[in-house]
Structure 1
């Protein structure tokens, strides 16, 4: 068979792509009141994103089941599990502990990213696996892509991120006081402030400029993600397409519920992988 790639639901893998490359997806959880919902599996209530919900990592049992199923599907060739940044979730840590008894047959990768930043790492690994690469090479494909992935995000409000502990209270209060529209980015796996602007339009322009600079003049893979802001995402994608003629792929998709709880409605993110995310089928 071939090495099988696992990722978590926060990486927002397109269902068609996940099926094409045989990627196994383990759900993270959205906590609404006293109820727990599995992202991508359970139907969420309409008001899940009202600012009071929270999220939790996949459990050790869920990860163990997923890794075992994936290992069986690989006929022993092995599993590479790509998870969102350990600085943003406990999933990587739990996965690493679960993987220990598998004696290197299950390798766990910290994508140091979120959303399609993680998703591109999983795709690069799965594309290598589909081409017949060994577990070492599949693992290295994910790690290399993680090293080239950059995530930028504009949010309408910082409240959700502050409540979830994903950004400091001081930054959130500064944004509220100045009506700031921040451009955030992920550095060393942590979400931090990159630039401050006074309007959403200026923040979006900064977002596009940052993505173009990061992509450079060569090939690059880009994802534009949003939460309840499809027109804004389409506008960003169109401008990136015009300014970056050497894109290997451009994905436009909605952020999942787990990330949506933290960024809030209106958020737009751009994920960039300089050099691309593995070989793309024509």
Structure 2
């Protein structure tokens, strides 16, 4: 087994490849789940708690949902399983340390394995994390060593851009992922915020008046981020499949032949808990 790759459940990866591409499944990232608490009951993201569960909870009390990082013990167990399967080293890439303590938990666990685990902060989440994790898996499948897989991951992080629209900033404010002053921008004069992930933090990028203008602006920002490069694109949503399909269609038209892989997925419970129903997100990954 080559270098193994670990990530967490906020990567929202596509399904592993099958058929002729199935070789990549040998090094498909191992996912360590975060915990979501719904009305006081904890569950593992993607295993015990679904996006639909979060959407239902959030239409009731706004304080009904909270999240927590994996424990260091969860990471120790995951790393140990990978080494027992024959991994020579592990690259473990996770959501931004500015948004979660997941990187810290992974780093504590990695200390038990004598420099055989490299922990990397993706400075993002969703496929802003997922694309670097997949880049790591491709490098590992090609026989790269631990340092080379880590470098491939960091290079992918630098070529990945995340933009998203939310109907309200209230959920992000309540979860401490955005400050009160920025949250106020989203309530003044019915302003609709366009956000991006910058240096690992969520920040307001633009302000529009309507949801339709917000989605159009997401397309503009994604196309600008692509520049003239060939790109892979992921579109995430929470309880808003029509928005996701509209975004994906508009991006296909605007990007044309530059668009290679495209993924449309519902955001998982952790991101959904902080963004709220109606989330629409575009992640652009420039190919090398």
Range of TM-score over shorter length: over 0.9
| Match for residue 22 of structure 1 among 21, 28, 48 | 28
- Tell me the SS of whatever aligns to 2:16: helix
The reply to whether residue 7 of structure 1 matches residue 7 of structure 2 is yes
| Match for residue 252 of structure 1 among 259, 264, 267 | 264
| Residues in 2 aligned to 1:238 and 1:202: alpha-carbon distance in whole angstroms | 16
- Tell me the SS of whatever aligns to 2:5: strand
Matching residue of 1:217: 228
For residues 14-45 of structure 1, what are the alpha-carbon distances to aligned partners after superposition, in whole Å with 9 as ceiling and x for unaligned? 23359564321000011123211100111454
Instruction: Evaluate the alpha carbon distance shift between residue 15 and residue 49 of structure 1 in structure 2; reply closer, same or farther with a 3 A threshold.
Output: farther
For the 8 Å contact 2:229–2:287, the answer to whether it is kept is yes
TM-score (norm 2): 0.91
- Tell me the SS of whatever aligns to 1:15: coil
Matching residue of 1:237: 248
For the 8 Å contact 2:99–2:177, the answer to whether it is kept is yes
- Moved beyond 2 Å, runs of 4+: 14-22, 43-51
| Match for residue 112 of structure 1 among 123, 127, 131 | 123
Q: Give the deviation of 1:71 after TM superposition.
A: 2.2
For the 8 Å contact 1:4–1:79, the answer to whether it is kept is yes
The reply to whether residue 227 of structure 1 matches residue 233 of structure 2 is no
| Match for residue 72 of structure 1 among 84, 105, 109 | 84
For the 8 Å contact 2:16–2:28, the answer to whether it is kept is no
| Match for residue 167 of structure 1 among 174, 178, 196 | 178
For the 8 Å contact 1:48–1:261, the answer to whether it is kept is no
- Tell me the SS of whatever aligns to 1:140: helix
Q: How does 1:32-51 map to 2 (within 5 A)?
A: 32-43=38-49, 45=53, 47-50=56-59, 51=62
Q: How many residue pairs are counted as aligned between the two chains?
A: 275
Q: Which blocks of at least 5 consecutive residues in structure 2 are unaligned?
A: 18-23
For the 8 Å contact 2:49–2:269, the answer to whether it is kept is no
The reply to whether residue 156 of structure 1 matches residue 167 of structure 2 is yes
For the 8 Å contact 1:11–1:117, the answer to whether it is kept is yes
Instruction: Evaluate the alpha carbon distance shift between residue 19 and residue 49 of structure 1 in structure 2; reply closer, same or farther with a 3 A threshold.
Output: farther
Q: Which blocks of at least 5 consecutive residues in structure 1 are unaligned?
A: 277-282
| Residues in 2 aligned to 1:265 and 1:237: alpha-carbon distance in whole angstroms | 18
| Match for residue 72 of structure 2 among 60, 71, 94 | 60
- Tell me the SS of whatever aligns to 1:144: helix
| Root mean square deviation, CA, Å | 1.5
For the 8 Å contact 2:11–2:125, the answer to whether it is kept is yes
Q: Give the deviation of 1:98 after TM superposition.
A: 1.3
For residues 203-250 of structure 1, what are the alpha-carbon distances to aligned partners after superposition, in whole Å with 9 as ceiling and x for unaligned? 111110000000111211110111111111111111111111212311
TM-score (norm 1): 0.93
Matching residue of 1:275: 287
The reply to whether residue 83 of structure 1 matches residue 91 of structure 2 is no
For the 8 Å contact 1:6–1:70, the answer to whether it is kept is no
